[in-house]
Amino acid sequence: MGHRAAIVGAGHTRFGVLDAGPRALLRSAIDGAVASVDRGVERSSIREAFLATLGFGGWQIGNASAVLAEEAGIPGVPTTHIENACASGGFALRAAVRAVEAGRTDLVLVAGVEKMTDVSGARRRYWLGVSGDTEWERLAGLTFAGVYGLLASRYLADHPGADEALAEVARKNHENGALNPNAHFQKRISRDDVRGAPRVAAPLGLYDCCPVSDGASALLVAAPDVASRFTDTPVFVDGVGAASDHLAVQERPSLTSFPASRWAAEEAFRTAGWDRSQVSFLEVHDCFTIAELLALEDLGFASPGDASALTLSGATARSGRLPVNPDGGLKSKGHPIGATGVSQVYEVFLQLRGAAGPRQISGASRALTHNVGGAGATAAVSLFSAG
Amino acid sequence: MGHRAAIVGAGHTRFGVLDAGPRALLRSAIDGAVASVDRGVERSSIREAFLATLGFGGWQIGNASAVLAEEAGIPGVPTTHIENACASGGFALRAAVRAVEAGRTDLVLVAGVEKMTDVSGARRRYWLGVSGDTEWERLAGLTFAGVYGLLASRYLADHPGADEALAEVARKNHENGALNPNAHFQKRISRDDVRGAPRVAAPLGLYDCCPVSDGASALLVAAPDVASRFTDTPVFVDGVGAASDHLAVQERPSLTSFPASRWAAEEAFRTAGWDRSQVSFLEVHDCFTIAELLALEDLGFASPGDASALTLSGATARSGRLPVNPDGGLKSKGHPIGATGVSQVYEVFLQLRGAAGPRQISGASRALTHNVGGAGATAAVSLFSAG
């Protein structure tokens, strides 16, 4: 099967409520990615670029692909804006891998950005809400918290006791985020804090929901055969899978499984030729705590209903046998929409090079990222190995 | 050099002020593309899909890639929403060619759609306006008509007499559109009509500007080696080029040339190994009449300033030696943003198969499409040959 692409550089801004605008965030993440390349890189060798962002609902700036060309300092290069809601970053990485595989470019820039906190509440609910189903969900009054609240209700009804696992997902991810200097929240919380917080959409409370964040992340993706030009320790992309589905959760056979995640994972593992037991850790799309449990099951790391016990066993903690979201996840690190899928790969880049500092997972050699758009409407899964 | 991909099916809705919403338009164009395949096609053989649309500013529906999966009836397939302003369609075609070249899929759906006429004036000006430069143009009061008006002023000052050529572009494209049953305007106009129309942004008048249209178009793009499964007369994609640039026209060396168009054309011709003299006809991005003159020069079919004489010579008429916009162009056929770049390829598909009816260009064997985002901020150029 072999390597399909190589990550040779990665950059990341702080996630959170930031003063910087979208252009400055984008520039900062890209500058960081360029500066991170061990043997250096000339921007003139970047021959393709993809931008992941929901975009101008928040920015009041459109034509985002040209904004990318400007802020990256690469006029002349073809730039493409990919907007797959919250999965934009995962699909942008996939597009970069495709570009490299097509054999027409050696070095591709992938950047993700969102500026969210300067958009007022009502406007933001519309801006984000349209990424869910409109006819059957949004116009009936459901926000994303509402939709995931329904999924959580179903899960808890089917699996009594899983409420403790939801609290543990939040506790664990905050513990990880406390060690991530880029995280929106760098604060430990207890399971009691989670259970005692105000409800947002029952059974989900404040600490079950990811925050609204500003931020950006960027990657440099090279053809495997030229990776050594840039670094002795690339992180290889070995498998990529993606799938789309209906927007409305009512169209799915079950409320507690996202077929798009299952299909994407199957494709990624099949094309990589890997077994799940080889994976050292996961970065999954925990926009709400329930989403992390569903992801563990849909990605094939737990049987239906068993993600709860797996989580409560401590297996998914940073020191466990299958760490999940060592960077804090969307829950604690934050979720600047377009940046999220790119940021997951940033964490993989650090961990697989042994550069994650106090949150380093000992012996990490293979990793999976999982990025979801809407309530399971689209999903992208990628598999990475240390060089 | 050889063939890089093959168009084996194409569909198109009427362009204009339509009752149908975006979902119905999308479905109709896709159904048309599927129905057009000579030997038939199962939707289950579509393994990748791209949607070109500016999107939810007009629709109030987001997560457009999942909408594509729904309306195409292909849940499970990875779908990607590409938003490169008015060049979305050209970049989506390019992504489809890349997907085929990467060797991981045999059949790709490309669809473009825009629903524009149900958006009110002020909201629409914002929605479209953000695709231009915001800091230096939009917030100074410039609409796209204003920007292209400035470019036209510069061109007319440099090339006296070119105002007659602008009028001829409009006259010619309306003459072509009158033969296109899908065109927004199917009405001949005279040069006097153009000159006598109210000014929108001097020197550009009403007939110098493309209309605001609803519509959709779709293509089925196959790997060249499997094209014969679908038809004996595929249309091959032989060259693709694309480039991005700064958003603001003030950043360019000249107001009467778009470097992005030049770079994209160079790449397309270089990768195809073609000479410009081999091209039978062009589909260029004539959002305003001046844009067709600039395109002829930037694409290398006229020297700077000579597009005017070329146009007035009759060479670019349907019966001339280098027909330009035989389908009526954006000017007369209409410009539903995301659909435009896809629609250009629909016309190529008809013409190169000898199926363009009363507007058929005799002996057409090779064609070029040219799709621009913003005022030259991005551009995509593709080259096609008859099978």
Per-residue model confidence (pLDDT) at position B126: 83
Residue A8 Rama label (left phi>0; alpha psi -120 to 50; beta): alpha
| pLDDT grade for A387, boundaries at 50, 70 and 90 | confident
DSSP B236-290: EEEEEEEEE--SSGGGSS-TT--HHHHHHHHHHHHHHT--GGG--EEE---SBHH
B250 in reach of chain A (CB within 8 A): no
Percentage of chain B modeled with pLDDT above 90: 91
| Confidence (pTM) | 0.97
Report the sign of the C-alpha dihedral through residues B32, B37, B38, B43, in that order: negative
Per-residue model confidence (pLDDT) at position A87: 98
Q: In sequence order, what are the residues at sequence separation of 6 or more whose Cβ sits closer than 8 angstroms to the Cβ of residue A303?
A: A297
Token pair 């009041």 in the structure block, residue: A60
Phi, psi of B264, deg, nearest 5: -65, -45
DSSP B82-96: E-BTBTHHHHHHHHH
Alpha carbon distance B128, B151 (integer Å): 19
Size of the A and B interface in Cβ pairs below 8 Å? 191
- The model's pLDDT over A188-230, given as tens digits with 9 standing for 90+, comes to 999 999 999 999 999 999 999 999 999 999 999 999 999 999 9
Phi, psi of A51, deg, nearest 5: -115, 125
A348 in reach of chain B (CB within 8 A): no
Q: Is B230 exposed, middle or buried (0-12, 13-18, 19+ CB in 10 A)?
A: buried
Among B62, B129, B247, whose Cβ lies nearest the Cβ of A66? B247
The residues facing B164 across adjacent strands are none
| pLDDT grade for A80, boundaries at 50, 70 and 90 | very high
Per-residue model confidence (pLDDT) at position B1: 61
Q: Which of B3, B81, B159, B335 is catalytic?
A: B335
Per-residue model confidence (pLDDT) at position A319: 97
Angle at A26 between CA A90 and CA B102, to 5 degrees: 35
State the smallest CA–CA distance between residue B318 and chain A in angstroms: 32
User: What are the b/e assignments for A323-335, b being 16+ CB within 10 Å?
Assistant: bbbbbbbbbbbbb
ipTM of the complex: 0.97
Q: For this structure, is A86 an active site residue?
A: yes
The yes-or-no verdict on residue A56 having pLDDT over 80 is no
Set of chain A residues whose Cβ sits within 8 Å of the Cβ of B223: none
The yes-or-no verdict on residue A1 having pLDDT over 70 is no
- The model's pLDDT over A229-286, given as tens digits with 9 standing for 90+, comes to 999 999 999 999 999 999 999 999 999 999 999 999 999 999 999 999 999 999 999 9
B24 in reach of chain A (CB within 8 A): no
- The model's pLDDT over A128-147, given as tens digits with 9 standing for 90+, comes to 888 999 888 998 999 999 99
State the average pLDDT for chain B. 96
Both tokens assigned to A204: 């989900």
| pLDDT grade for A60, boundaries at 50, 70 and 90 | confident
DSSP strands (E only) in chain B: 5-12, 48-52, 79-82, 107-114, 199-201, 204-205, 215-222, 235-244, 281-283, 366-373, 378-386
Q: For this structure, is A287 an active site residue?
A: no
Angle at B248 between CA B247 and CA B253, to 5 degrees: 110
Per-residue model confidence (pLDDT) at position B261: 98
Q: Three-class SS of residue A189?
A: coil
B positions 28-67 inside 8 Å of A (CB): 49, 54-57, 59-67
A positions 261-320 inside 8 Å of B (CB): 263-264, 271
Angle at A332 between CA A329 and CA A334, to 5 degrees: 80
Average pLDDT, integer, range B39-63:
90
Phi, psi of A282, deg, nearest 5: -125, 145
The residues facing A214 across adjacent strands are A16
Nearest Cα to Cα of residue B159 among B326, B340, B312, B338: B312
The yes-or-no verdict on residue A57 having pLDDT over 70 is no
Phi, psi of B133, deg, nearest 5: -65, 135
Pick from A202-211, B97-106, B128-137 the range whose average pLDDT is largest.
A202-211
C-alpha radius of gyration, chain B, whole number: 19
- Determine whether the interchain pair B65/A130 forms a contact, defined as Cβ–Cβ distance below 8 Å: no
State the average pLDDT for chain A. 96
Task: State how beta strands B79-82 and B48-52 pair.
Answer: parallel
B382 in reach of chain A (CB within 8 A): no
Hey, how many other C-beta atoms are within 10 angstroms of the C-beta on B379? 33
Alpha carbon distance A55, A26 (integer Å): 12
DSSP A124-177: HHHHHHTTS-TTTTGGGT--HHHHHHHHHHHHHHHSTTHHHHHHHHHHHHHHHH
- Determine whether the interchain pair B130/A60 forms a contact, defined as Cβ–Cβ distance below 8 Å: yes
- Determine whether the interchain pair B80/A91 forms a contact, defined as Cβ–Cβ distance below 8 Å: yes
- The model's pLDDT over B256-294, given as tens digits with 9 standing for 90+, comes to 999 999 999 999 999 999 999 999 999 999 999 999 999
Per-residue model confidence (pLDDT) at position A275: 96
State the smallest CA–CA distance between residue A128 and chain B in angstroms: 8
Among A59, A94, A247, whose Cβ lies nearest the Cβ of B66? A247
Average pLDDT, integer, range B4-18:
98
Q: Which residue of A has its CA nearest to B246?
A: A70
Per-residue model confidence (pLDDT) at position B121: 82
Both tokens assigned to B43: 């939707």
B positions 75-94 inside 8 Å of A (CB): 75-85, 91, 94
Contact B95, B82 (CB under 8 A): yes
Average pLDDT, integer, range B88-109:
96
- The model's pLDDT over A99-125, given as tens digits with 9 standing for 90+, comes to 999 998 999 999 999 999 988 888 888
Per-residue model confidence (pLDDT) at position A209: 98
Q: Which domains does chain B have, with CATH numbers?
A: 5-120+211-386 (3.40.47.10)
State the smallest CA–CA distance between residue B201 and chain A in angstroms: 22
Set of chain B residues whose Cβ sits within 8 Å of the Cβ of A263: 76
Average pLDDT, integer, range B21-48:
97
A2 in reach of chain B (CB within 8 A): no
Q: Three-class SS of residue A195?
A: helix
Contact B88, B242 (CB under 8 A): no
Q: Which residue of B has its CA nearest to A70?
A: B246
Task: State how beta strands B5-12 and B235-244 pair.
Answer: antiparallel
Average pLDDT, integer, range A159-165:
96
Report the sign of the C-alpha dihedral through residues A314, A316, A317, A323, in that order: positive
